Amino acid sequence: MVPAIFGLSGLTLTDNERAFFRDADPAGYVLFGRNVADRAQLRALTDELRALHGRDRTLICIDQEGGRVARMKPPVWPPYPPGEWFGRLWDVAPATAIEAARANAEALGLDLAEAGISVDLLPLLDVRQPGAHDVIGDRAYGAEPLRVAALGRAALDGLARAGLAGVVKHMPGHGRATADSHKEMPTVDASAEELEIDLEPFRTLAGAAIGMTAHVRYTAWDAENPATQSPFVIGEVIRKRIGFDGLLMTDDLDMEALAGSVPERAARAIAAGCDLVLNCWAKMDDMIGIASATPVISAAARERLARALRDTTDFAADFAPGAPMERHAALVAKRDALLALADA
C-alpha cells in the first residue's frame, strides 16, 4: 500500500487512473468539486473506488467544512455555516453552541455518508490570532483554546453519529500564520511558551483518529522545516507534547509553501514521521513519482489507518443511497433555531 491519499481528475475514473490505483493501492482518495456533479454520480464514483480494492471501509475524504470551504455545493447539497458562526453563539450560550455544532456536523455527515464518503477534513482546531492571514479567518471557531476544543469535539461527535471520521487540523496550529501556505511558506516566530496556546485544543482532542499537519515553519521548534517535514515537530511536538497517536496526514503537497518536486516533498514528509501524504490534483506523473519515492506504508501507519476507519460506515452492509432525510431535516432545523439565538 502506498502511504498516500490521491486525487481524481474528473467525474469518473479514467482508464489510466483505474489501472494505476489498482496497482499502487493508495491508502485513500480525496474528492474536489471537479469530481462532484450530483448524488447518483458521486455515489457511483465512491462505490467504484471501494470496489477497486475490495474494501468496504476505504479512506475517501473531502474538504467539506462549511462556509467558503465546500466541495459539495447547492443546489444539489445544502450550504453549511463556517466555524465562526458557532463561535458567536458560544458568546451567548456555550452549551447551546456545542449542541448546534454537533447537530450541524451530523447533518453534514449524513450528506457525505449518502455519497459514500468516509472522512471529512473537519474540524479546524486552529486558534485564531489577531493580525493573522485570513486563510483561516472565519473557518476557525474562535480565539480561545477552550471554545475551539469544545466546538471541535462537538463536530467530531456529530460526524461520528453519521458514520464518518473527522480530521483535526492543522497540527500544531495554523492560527498565527501571516501568510497563506497555499502561496508561500508562513513563518511563525512566537516563543515555545506562546505556542502552548496553539497546542491546547490539539492536546485536549489528542485522542482523535486522524490529524493533518500544517505547512508552517515555527522557529521556536525548527527554524528550517515546516511542521509537515520536521522530524522534531512531528516526533516531539505532535506525538509527545500533544500526545497524538492517531493517523497523521499532510496537508496538500501541491501547496507552494513546500519546496522541491511533489515526490520529493512526499518523501521528506514520510521520512519526518507523517503516516500519509495528501496529493490532491490528480497529476499522474506526480502520483507515479510519489509511489516510487515513498516506502510501503509502515505497520504503525497501517494500524492507525484501520483504527481510524473502524467505526465508519460499512457501505456494503449499513448504508444504501437515500440517507434518512427526515433525520437530516430535523438536525438542520435544530441547528438553525440554535444559531438564531446569537442574533436574538
Catalytic residues: 182, 251
CB atoms within 10 A of CB 289: 18
Compute CA distances 2 → 50, 277, 289, whole Å: 16, 9, 11
Residue type, 31: L
Cis peptide before 172 (omega within 30 of 0): yes
CA 336 – CA 85 distance, rounded (Å): 11
The residues near 28 (Cβ < 8 Å, ≥ 6 apart) are 5, 6, 58, 59, 60, 61, 119, 276, 305
Cis peptide before 324 (omega within 30 of 0): no
Residue type, 268: R
CB atoms within 10 A of CB 287: 24
Residue type, 151: L
* Residue 295, burial from CB neighbour count under 10 angstroms (0-12, 13-18, 19+): exposed
Q: Which grid coordinates are listed for 278? A: 495528501
Question: In which residue are the cell numbers 456529530 written?
Answer: 158
Closest CA to 60 of 114, 16, 96: 114
CA 104 – CA 107 distance, rounded (Å): 5
Residue type, 173: G
Q: Which residues pair with 226 in a beta bridge?
A: 217
What's phi and psi for 311, nearest 5 deg? -100, 10
Q: Is 255 helix (H, G, I), strand (E, B) or coil?
A: coil
What's phi and psi for 289, nearest 5 deg? -65, -40
